[in-house]
């Protein structure tokens, strides 16, 4: 690290305090301007990759959970060649389920579901 770069980092930190760029960002921007860049706007970014949370995948995961509630997230991810986090989001966000003692169950049970759970536990 050159003295000039260090001095620039210190000046930015003094001027902006906690809102200052990180040292690595300062070096990156310094390099860009040194190479002739004149615009301070960020480069255009690629769009976010398409998610695997499609209606088809939601239905597949839902059918799998209904047929066997003992399946784990990673087991479903492997079976359907989906990302583990995608399966977790489908279960929690799309199907409104949460994990209770190693089982995935709906967050809000209907009266019919409550009766079924009660009869199964007796």
CATH of the domain at 76: 1.10.10
The count of other CB atoms within 10 Å of the CB of residue 73 is: 19
Domain that holds residue 14: 3-34
State yes or no: pLDDT of 48 exceeds 60: no
Same domain, 91 and 61: yes
Q: What is the mean pLDDT of residues 19-38?
A: 82
pTM of the model: 0.44
Residue 50 lies in a domain: no
What's the total number of domains in the chain? Answer: 2
Residue 47 lies in a domain: no
Residue 87 lies in a domain: yes
Q: What is the mean pLDDT of residues 15-36?
A: 82
pLDDT in tens, 66-120: 888 788 888 999 999 888 999 998 998 888 887 766 566 666 778 888 888 888 8
Of 99, 101, 103, 100, nearest in space to 69 by CA:
103
């Amino acid at each position: 690290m050159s003295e000039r770069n260090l001095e620039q980092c210190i000046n930015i930190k003094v001027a902006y305090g906690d809102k200052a760029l990180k040292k690595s960002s300062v070096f990156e921007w310094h390099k860009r301007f040194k190479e002739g860049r004149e615009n301070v706007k960020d480069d255009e970014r690629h769009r976010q990759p398409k998610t695997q949370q499609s209606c088809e995948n939601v239905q597949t995961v839902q059918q799998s959970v209904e047929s066997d509630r003992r399946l784990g997230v990673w087991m479903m991810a492997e079976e359907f060649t989906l990302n583990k986090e995608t399966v977790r989001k489908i279960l929690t966000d799309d199907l409104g389920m949460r994990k209770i003692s190693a089982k995935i169950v709906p967050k809000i049970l209907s009266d019919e579901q409550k009766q079924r759970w009660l009869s199964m536990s007796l």
